[in-house]
Amino acid sequence: MPRIVRPENSHPAKALWFDRSKFVFVNFMVEDSKDVQVDIQEDKLIFSCKSADDSDIYNEIHFFDKVQPKDSRERRYDRTINVLLRKMKENVAWPRMTKDTGKPIWLSVDFDNWRDWEQEEEEGMAEYEKYLDMLQGMSKKGPPPKMDDLDDLDDDD
């Protein structure tokens, strides 16, 4: 992937994030985006696009902890670009999205999707089906994510 360069007069997109035991989700709020570029590295994410009015958008997030770039994906929708990041260390909560303790003004917690991990076992199948659809439509970055750890969800009989 070519290196993403920050455009001179760019501004950040508003972004919402939430944490799960195995994944971190980031949703960039940009309507009618075009020229979307997402560079997912172990320790950071670089997001760039043009908005409907041709404004340059650029966000860079240095992660709280490492992710697995090859098992991470993004997908563009009409109003958002959703990024699914596979944690390097599963079952470790991220108290914040960024490495720095100061929070960027454009980044907020998505409280509508935040929940205690104890509920994940019960709600895991519904969440799995929802995000399986998301994964299938996302751009490819190498082999598909390893989801063999989700096989346990079928054993509820």
What is the model's pLDDT at position 78?
93
| Interatomic CA distance for residues 119 and 117, integer angstroms | 5
pLDDT tens digits, the chain, 157 residues: what are they? 567 888 788 999 999 999 999 999 999 999 999 999 999 999 999 999 999 999 999 999 999 999 999 999 999 999 999 999 999 999 999 999 999 998 899 999 998 887 765 555 555 555 555 665 666 665 555 565 666 665 555 555 4
113 CB-contact burial (10 Å; exposed 0-12 / middle 13-18 / buried 19+): middle
What is the model's pLDDT at position 138?
59
Q: What pTM did the predictor assign?
A: 0.74
What is the model's pLDDT at position 7?
79
What is the model's pLDDT at position 113?
85
What is the model's pLDDT at position 13?
96
| Interatomic CA distance for residues 22 and 152, integer angstroms | 14
| Interatomic CA distance for residues 155 and 85, integer angstroms | 26
What is the model's pLDDT at position 3?
78
Q: Could you read off the pLDDT of 70-87 as tens digits, one per residue?
A: 999 999 999 999 999 999
| Interatomic CA distance for residues 61 and 15, integer angstroms | 10
Residue 91: left if φ>0, alpha if ψ -120 to 50, beta else—which one? left
